Chain A
Amino acid sequence: MTGDRPLGLVLLEMILLVLLGPLVTGAIQKLKARLQCRQGADVLQPYRDLAKLLRKGTVQADTASGFFRSIPVLVLAATVAAGALVPVLRAGPSAFPLGDALMLLGLLALARFLTAVGALDAGGAFGGMGASREMTIAPLVEPVLMMVVFSTALAAGTTELGALAAHRGTSWIFAWSAADFLGFAAMLVLLPAETGRIPVDNPDTHLELTMLHEGMLLEHSGPGLGCMLLASHTRQIVTLGLVAALFFPVGPADGIGAADLLLGAGAFAAKILVLATYLALVESSYAKLRLFRVPQYLGIGFVCALTALALRIL
């Protein structure tokens, strides 16, 4: 049982997620552009932005405290560490346990906490506004996300993502029970909120009326902003990876050969692509909700998740 995923593989998967994170953002932007009948930027554009930012100098607010410089570093580290907990190429528990789904959500929450603290540091109203809104939405998303995790965990008897994915096996949607469908529906509702996209947030604008996450990044610049952007790309792919691990089959747990790993990689790419397409479709076909409509929107997810749990337990 133990040791299906050696430490080397876990670290490899983590690096893979960090490297592919910007590509997913690029792909979603490209898809959105095509859906809106635009040419759009190249899918590799996020990489170019990152490279540019990392080469630039920084401008720091004169009111910012000593914490401000280390915020991007810590946010990036916490997000990337969350990436180490997602099974990518192969299912099964890792050889040396790092953390489970709750730890993953905890690390993402840590990154969010530090981002919000950084936003208040410069002393501008935009940062505070972004932080306040982000910390309003987050406590509402988190319990529902946990409930979805619980509904799957109760069936598998563990909250470890690798083991959950192994329990899902290679069976596809045909083996899903009603609880799985409802849990997945809840997840689809939550996904735009957790990745900071329409209808909850708008990643493309810096207008103060609409922004949540972008508002918190306003005072960062240069390499610091680069770290924050890389962290949000990673956060997005980690969230998608979590959904994939909870509901889709990951590569087979047995077999160590290169062919199996390649199969796993292909499967992962396909799953992420499907979810990315979903996000692009939602972003292109809906308007952003008013902030005080968001709790009602999340309420749909809550009802789905609660019903999924009820079906699992009753």
Chain B
Amino acid sequence: MLLTGTLLMAACYGAGALSSLLARWSGRLALGVGHLAVLAGATAGLGVSLGILLGTPGRALTRPLPALFPFARLSLSVDGLSAYFLLVISLVAVAAAIYGPAYLRAHSPDAGRARQAAQVFGLNVFLGCMTFVCCAGDALTFLLCWEGMTLASYVLVVSDDRDGENARAGLLYMVMTHGGTALLLVAFLALTERAGAFDFAALRAAAGGLDGTTRTTLFFLALGGFATKAGVVPLHVWLPRAHPAAPSHVSALMSGVMLKVAIYGILRFAFDLLAPVAAPLPSSWGWTVLVVGTASAVLGVLYALQQHDLKRLLAYHSVENVGIILIGVGLAMILWRREAAGGAVATVALTAALLHTVNHAAFKGLLFLAAGSVLCRTHVRNMEELGGLARRMPWTAGLFLLGAIAISGLPPLNGFVSEWLTFQALLGGASRFHGPAGLGIVFSAAMLALTGGLAAACFVKAFGVTFLGRARTPHAEHATEAPPSMIAGMVWLGALCVALGVAPGYAMRLLDAPTAGLLHGPAASAVVTARGPLVLSTALTPGATDATAISTTMLAALLIALTAMAWVLRRGSRRAPSRTAPTWTCGMSPTARFDYTATAFAKPLRLVFAALYRPRRAVIHETAGTPYVLRRIHYAGEVVDLAETQIYHRVQRGITALSRTIRLRSTGRIHGYIGFVLGALFVALLLFGVGQR
């Protein structure tokens, strides 16, 4: 049954990819059929993953694939962890499939058939490869699907507009992600060489015999590869360029889901393939992940604050949220098999990370889709040129606000639940370690609190400047509400945000299989929902099972009751008149110039964190003859990513300088080159000759 579902999923995505051929006759038909295939594939994916997650514990689906290569047996293997990530992918894919056709038609009505065919093909291949990365049962399938995912997403990134910026973003994405894939390839090949086979079971067995140093080296190679894909600081520079360039529903998939596939890879390597048989993971692994996670969370949100491009801002928030997920993952790695008996903080940490994975997919997907609605109605991504959209696009605005509250980690929505669990895990971890380790964990908790506060500030800015106040340009003035099918896609993800926030206890059952499977310990629901599905509880000290307990369900009920009461108060007395009047602007007639801009809103924080931002600004006064008559003032301000200037630009300068030196030597005279070849041969012979003896 489940096997049929998996094959059905593959068939749907395959058929969807082939349906791009329909564009020969009608681009519209190709779009429709292609997205319908995505919807069918995602539904099949939901079925398979729920079947495994809710089925008998420990159930896994393994299936050999037809032998395509003489040297490797390809296979599929879907265990709890795979099924969970399959669920996350399918949930967002459903929304993208509903949203996509109307968006592509509205955003670029004059797109040629070739572009539409490429988009349909790319989307199906992208989703198919992503699902099968998670379902891969051997290294070769994993790497092939991983590469397919990268290439398909590259096609989608460069497909949207024919301008140079998209192409540059795509190129950077391609280079960075292939650097990461190279690291992965080394890690996988080192393992397969020892195992003599490609399937994961053999790799696991081979890793059992590794010594500590090799194991750690392999882990860091894999971590480097996956971290590039996940957009972890400082490997994130491609992300804020590539994600906004893709069509919005693809941005939702890339930010909401593709980064999670990298998280899946980290979890698979750390807890499954490379984990020692009965010993804890080397402590350097967990601490590295915790530190880069914390750094990503803080730096991601700080850079997001200074972005005025709506989609780019959201892309930086993905860096932040991946950081939050990695905090949970790192903590689970540190604590696993290191706690006293009866402790389950590692489970809480992993639960928090996995829950934040699905939560981030839901709210970031929602926010990207809402940003896409704005984009396709105004064709503007710069917030400073928007404004006043809440009156013209009420559904989009309301759903964006919902996503904004969720991503800021505010109760009673889903972002709060997973951040609460992360905090509890961090506190639990801190109370188990004394000394600097404990202090480091608590410091990470404080940074997480800072991240939450800054995210709230950022989304007040993003929502307020985009949707509230007056329209700043005609683009925003003539906007209309998005078509119903796009709203339906957003409502699906918005409903997920509310459901996972108000009743998170019911979602814990889905986390049982991955947590118990990875940690070989108690399952998530046994630890976190020990007091029934309505109450989340954790214990900071072993023994006490329910020391801290919250119930977002009860709280949501209380909030609704209080809102009803406050509404009565707000209505006031019926006799008093209610009227509208222009906003007070000190006696001048109000225009859109009075609205606070995004730059101004973020200015105080830019000054507070100036050490990190190193803001650049140039003010040029244009005067008429004397300095007392000002004709015009030019103002240009910019915040650059510290990783770009401090690392990438230096590397780039180094490479340029090196190639310049090489160019000086390449004179074009043939005997010069022969001399170089002879010299190189001599040196090589000398080196290897010494090695032989």
Q: Which residues of A contact B (CB under 8 A)?
A: 2, 54-63, 65-67, 69, 72-74, 76-78, 80-81, 84, 93, 96-100, 102-103, 106-107, 109-110, 112-113, 116-117, 119-129, 131-133, 135-136, 138-147, 150, 153-154, 157-160, 163, 218-219, 222-224, 226-227, 230, 291-292, 295, 306, 309-310, 313-314
Residue of B nearest to A97 (CB): B549
Q: Which residues of A contact B342 (CB under 8 A)?
A: none
Q: Bound state CA distance, A226 and B430, in angstroms?
A: 43
Task: Indicate which residue in B401, B442, B549, B567 contacts A313 across the interface (CB closer than 8 Å).
Answer: B442
Which of B106-114, B354-362, B575-583, B657-665 has 4 or more CB atoms under 8 Å from chain A?
B575-583
Q: Bound state CA distance, A129 and B566, in angstroms?
A: 27
A224 & B570 in contact (Cβ 8 Å cutoff): yes
Residue of A nearest to B408 (CB): A113
B547 & A160 in contact (Cβ 8 Å cutoff): yes
Task: Report if B647 contacts A (CB, 8 A).
Answer: no
Task: Report if B394 contacts A (CB, 8 A).
Answer: yes
For the complex of A and B, 3 pairs with smallest distance between CB atoms: A128-B596, A139-B453, A120-B464
Q: Which residues of B contact A (CB under 8 A)?
A: 387-388, 390-391, 394, 397-398, 401, 405, 408-411, 416, 420, 423-424, 427, 430-431, 433-436, 438-439, 442-443, 445-447, 449-450, 452-454, 456-457, 459-461, 463-465, 467-470, 531, 535, 537, 539-541, 544, 546-552, 554-555, 558-559, 562-563, 565-567, 569-573, 576-585, 590, 592, 594-596, 600-605, 607-608
Q: Which residues of B contact A102 (CB under 8 A)?
A: 420, 423
Known: A142-B450, A143-B453. 19 other contacts (CB 8 A): A54-B569, A54-B572, A57-B578, A59-B581, A76-B569, A93-B549, A96-B554, A103-B550, A109-B453, A110-B410, A110-B411, A113-B456, A127-B596, A128-B464, A136-B604, A136-B605, A139-B605, A150-B442, A159-B427
A122 & B469 in contact (Cβ 8 Å cutoff): yes
Task: Indicate which residue in B464, B550, B569, B600 contacts A99 across the interface (CB closer than 8 Å).
Answer: B550
Task: Indicate which residue in B446, B548, B559, B563 contacts A158 across the interface (CB closer than 8 Å).
Answer: B548
Task: Indicate which residue in A57, A126, A135, A291 contacts B456 across the interface (CB closer than 8 Å).
Answer: A135
Q: Bound state CA distance, A19 and B271, in angstroms?
A: 53
Q: Which residues of A contact B547 (CB under 8 A)?
A: 157-158, 160, 163
Given contacts A121-B469, A159-B424, A313-B442, contact A113 B550 (CB under 8 A): no
A63 & B388 in contact (Cβ 8 Å cutoff): yes
Task: Indicate which residue in B423, B555, B582 contacts A98 across the interface (CB closer than 8 Å).
Answer: B555
Residue of B nearest to A119 (CB): B464
A222 & B604 in contact (Cβ 8 Å cutoff): no
A58 & B569 in contact (Cβ 8 Å cutoff): no
B555 & A226 in contact (Cβ 8 Å cutoff): no
Q: Bound state CA distance, A160 and B450, in angstroms?
A: 21
Q: Which residues of B contact A150 (CB under 8 A)?
A: 427, 430, 442, 445-446
B410 & A76 in contact (Cβ 8 Å cutoff): no
A109 & B566 in contact (Cβ 8 Å cutoff): no
Task: Indicate which residue in B468, B570, B592 contacts A120 across the interface (CB closer than 8 Å).
Answer: B468
Given contacts A106-B409, A142-B450, contact A65 B554 (CB under 8 A): no
Residue of B nearest to A160 (CB): B548
Residue of B nearest to A302 (CB): B446
A124 & B594 in contact (Cβ 8 Å cutoff): yes
B583 & A113 in contact (Cβ 8 Å cutoff): no
Q: Which of B562, B594, B601 has most chain A Cβ within 10 Å?
A: B562
Given contacts A54-B569, A127-B596, contact A106 B411 (CB under 8 A): yes
B555 & A153 in contact (Cβ 8 Å cutoff): no
A73 & B439 in contact (Cβ 8 Å cutoff): no
B608 & A140 in contact (Cβ 8 Å cutoff): yes
Q: Which residues of A contact B551 (CB under 8 A)?
A: 96-99
What's the least CB distance linking B431 to chain A, in Å? 5
What's the least CB distance linking B612 to chain A, in Å? 13
Q: Which residues of A contact B607 (CB under 8 A)?
A: 292
A124 & B434 in contact (Cβ 8 Å cutoff): no
Q: Which residues of B contact A74 (CB under 8 A)?
A: 563, 566
Given contacts A57-B577, A109-B456, contact A132 B601 (CB under 8 A): yes
B594 & A123 in contact (Cβ 8 Å cutoff): yes
B604 & A97 in contact (Cβ 8 Å cutoff): no
Q: Bound state CA distance, A146 and B439, in angstroms?
A: 14
What's the least CB distance linking A47 to chain B, in Å? 14
A78 & B559 in contact (Cβ 8 Å cutoff): yes
Task: Indicate which residue in A123, A146, A227 contacts B570 across the interface (CB closer than 8 Å).
Answer: A227
